[in-house]
């Protein structure tokens, strides 16, 4: 009898523990996306766009921290396709990153299912096609990760959230733009600016006296933008997954690939107001508008438009330094953002990466440290996983610029898991740059003019620099970041300015250790596509 009671008790505890494991699993969100061509005319000219489920831009992807996200992507284009998730860290899971160094592209008339988790992240992100020049045709959208209800954000719950996808646009189809680059010619100047795929008519409605969260992303190809709202101020609360000190701005610069969130209180007279986006560092300056509509208003917006900066580099750099991390705000996990004291960690290695424009075989190319990147037919991550020789060489690119002509190559920088690395982006060109690192965020500790040297470290913000996943580098200037390489895999470090990425201004960072451990990196997924030399492994 005693044994029977014990067995009932034991089995009951086992059943309860099993139930608790099931119920404690993070929620799943399932999506099916059909990617097709479709006619669009955002600037009044019919062109071939890329639609997701018939939408341009694509649907917003909204989730909560730690949600599991399953997206079946059906490729109905006439070319292979990948979608990347800009700023999503893919913790332990580089297999879902969606770039050519990690994944074989999805062939036409087939599908592939991404399985990822918004692990320990909150904030404003985007997604877009990473293959060829598909991004120039659409296929992009917002990716918003809300905080779990148990972990408060450092501001009152807004009345509503609005996602604004702002970026330059070109009247030429993406294949024409690609042909321009393939022919060795410079990329054209944009024809206009869009907000949510529209040149002027996007509208956002709120009620007087209430506060709204605007999630704003620069989804353009080449151009920094300035964002402002007529008659209203912007309270910055988040950049790319990090809560910020809540400084108030009249306008904010948002560089290619960057995202941020601002609170806007509708405290004006009940009428319509212009939302303005204009290009930075360009001649001429391009402008576009959307409408902030007060509910019940019948008064249309009228000019003049609020004036924004045009070419002032120092103004933008000074503003960038005012963006600071909110050290006391909760992070995506139940601990303060500033609990990791990055400024006290010794730097184990310094990478000085200089971008450049050059010609190879009489055609325009872009490079980092004298190497213009070319994609091998076998994704780097697959080559590394299957130990396939001849795909990449860890000696192709050096830690600092080296003299000599620019060469074509497959650049991979090798690091060890948990290395703490300083990366300096040195821009010796007269155009602004924007750099993005997949799989990570990083501390944006310094901006400066002319040439970086070690004495510049005295200027670093080692206390409350925000973490971001994309950093701008001003003309003839440098920007410095610190990265804790704690996420195993093969990660793309690229120009967010897409023609430069396409023509070689990118590389990969290999983060590895000597042991195979599912606690640090998941195995290759069973549905992984194999191509190149990996198809025969």
In a domain, 16, yes or no: no
Structure confidence at residue 348 (pLDDT)? 97
Q: What is the pLDDT of residues 259-271, one digit of tens each?
A: 999 999 999 999 9
Rounded CA gap, 412 and 453, in Å?
Answer: 24
Residues 135 and 165 grouped into a single domain? no
Residues 475 and 386 grouped into a single domain? yes
Residues 157 and 147 grouped into a single domain? no
Structure confidence at residue 517 (pLDDT)? 84
| Total count of domains within the chain | 3
pLDDT reading at 146 higher than 50: yes
Q: What is the pLDDT of residues 231-253, one digit of tens each?
A: 999 999 999 999 999 999 999 99
Q: What is the pLDDT of residues 256-314, one digit of tens each?
A: 999 999 999 999 999 999 999 999 999 999 999 999 999 999 999 999 999 999 999 99
pLDDT reading at 13 higher than 50: no
- In sequence order, the 6+-apart residues with CB closer than 8 A to the CB of 437 are 469, 483, 491, 492, 493, 509
Residues 163 and 273 grouped into a single domain? yes
Average pLDDT, the chain: 94
In a domain, 6, yes or no: no
Q: Kindly indicate the confidence band of residue 515, based on its pLDDT and cuts at 50, 70 and 90.
A: confident
Structure-block tokens of residue 366:
């872009």
Structure confidence at residue 24 (pLDDT)? 58
Residues 463 and 347 grouped into a single domain? yes
Residues 246 and 318 grouped into a single domain? yes
Structure confidence at residue 516 (pLDDT)? 84
163 DSSP β-pair partners: 215
- Cα angle for residues 359, 364, 370 (degrees, 5° grid): 55
Of 153 and 518, the structure prediction assigns the larger pLDDT to 153
Residues 351 and 202 grouped into a single domain? no
In a domain, 285, yes or no: yes
Rounded CA gap, 430 and 308, in Å?
Answer: 21
Residues 419 and 464 grouped into a single domain? yes
Structural Rg of the chain based on CA atoms: 24
Residues 109 and 253 grouped into a single domain? no
Q: Kindly indicate the confidence band of residue 537, based on its pLDDT and cuts at 50, 70 and 90.
A: low
> Which domain, by its residues, includes 217?
153-326
Structure confidence at residue 333 (pLDDT)? 87
Share of the chain above pLDDT 90, in %: 92
Domain boundary (116, 151, 186) is at: 151
Maximum C-alpha span of the chain:
89
CA-closest candidate to residue 124, choices 210, 250, 227, 272 = 227
Q: Kindly indicate the confidence band of residue 410, based on its pLDDT and cuts at 50, 70 and 90.
A: very high
pLDDT reading at 409 higher than 50: yes
Structure confidence at residue 397 (pLDDT)? 98
Q: What is the pLDDT of residues 152-164, one digit of tens each?
A: 999 999 999 999 9
Structure-block tokens of residue 462:
């080692």
pLDDT reading at 19 higher than 80: no
């Amino acid at each position: 009898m005693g044994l029977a009671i014990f067995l009932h008790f034991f089995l009951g505890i086992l059943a309860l523990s099993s139930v608790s494991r099931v119920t404690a699993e993070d929620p799943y969100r399932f999506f099916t996306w059909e990617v097709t061509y479709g006619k669009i005319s955002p600037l009044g000219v019919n062109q071939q766009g890329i639609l997701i489920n018939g939408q341009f831009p694509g649907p917003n992807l909204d989730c909560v921290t730690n949600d599991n996200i399953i997206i079946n992507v059906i490729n109905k284009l006439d070319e292979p396709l990948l979608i990347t998730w800009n700023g999503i860290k893919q913790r332990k899971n580089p297999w879902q990153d969606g770039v050519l160094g990690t994944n074989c592209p999805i062939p036409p008339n087939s599908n592939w299912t991404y399985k990822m988790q918004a692990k320990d992240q909150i904030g404003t992100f985007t997604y877009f096609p990473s293959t060829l020049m598909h991004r120039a045709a659409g296929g992009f959208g917002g990716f918003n990760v809300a905080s779990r209800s148990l972990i408060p954000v450092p501001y009152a719950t807004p009345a509503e959230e609005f996602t604004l996808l702002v970026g330059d646009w070109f009247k030429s189809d993406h294949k024409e733009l690609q042909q321009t680059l393939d022919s060795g010619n410079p990329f054209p100047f944009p024809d206009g600016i869009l907000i949510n795929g529209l040149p002027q008519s996007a509208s956002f409605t709120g009620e007087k006296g209430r506060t709204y969260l605007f999630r704003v992303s620069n989804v353009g190809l080449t151009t920094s933008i300035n964002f402002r709202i007529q008659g209203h101020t912007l309270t910055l609360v988040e950049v790319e997954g990090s809560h910020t000190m809540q400084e108030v701005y009249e306008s904010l610069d948002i560089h290619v690939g960057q995202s941020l969130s601002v609170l806007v209180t509708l405290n004006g007279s009940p009428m319509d107001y212009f939302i303005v986006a204009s290009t930075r560092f360009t001649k001429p300056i391009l402008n576009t508008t959307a409408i902030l509509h007060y509910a019940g208003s019948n008064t249309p917006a009228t000019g003049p438009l609020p004036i924004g900066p045009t070419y002032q580099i120092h103004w933008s750099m000074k503003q960038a330094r005012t963006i600071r991390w909110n050290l006391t705000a909760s992070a995506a996990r139940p601990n303060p953002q500033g609990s990791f004291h990055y400024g006290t960690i010794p730097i184990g290695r310094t990478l000085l990466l200089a971008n450049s424009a050059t010609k190879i075989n009489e055609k325009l190319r872009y490079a980092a440290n004298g190497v213009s990147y070319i994609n091998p037919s076998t994704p780097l991550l697959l080559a590394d996983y299957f130990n396939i020789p001849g795909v990449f060489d860890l000696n192709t690119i050096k830690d600092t610029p080296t003299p000599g002509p620019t060469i074509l190559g497959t650049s991979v920088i090798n690091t060890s898991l948990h290395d703490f690395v300083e990366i300096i982006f040195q821009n010796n060109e007269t155009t602004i740059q924007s750099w993005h690192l997949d799989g990570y965020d990083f501390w944006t500790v310094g901006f400066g003019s002319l040439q970086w040297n070690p004495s510049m470290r005295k200027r670093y913000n080692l206390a409350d620099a925000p973490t971001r996943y994309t950093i701008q580098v001003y003309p003839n200037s440098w920007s410095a970041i610190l990265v804790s390489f704690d996420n195993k895999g093969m990660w793309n470090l690229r120009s967010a300015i897409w023609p430069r990425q396409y023509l070689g201004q990118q590389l990969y960072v290999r983060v590895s250790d000597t042991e195979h451990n599912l606690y640090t990196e998941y195995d290759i997924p069973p549905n992984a596509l194999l191509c190149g030399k990996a198809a025969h492994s």
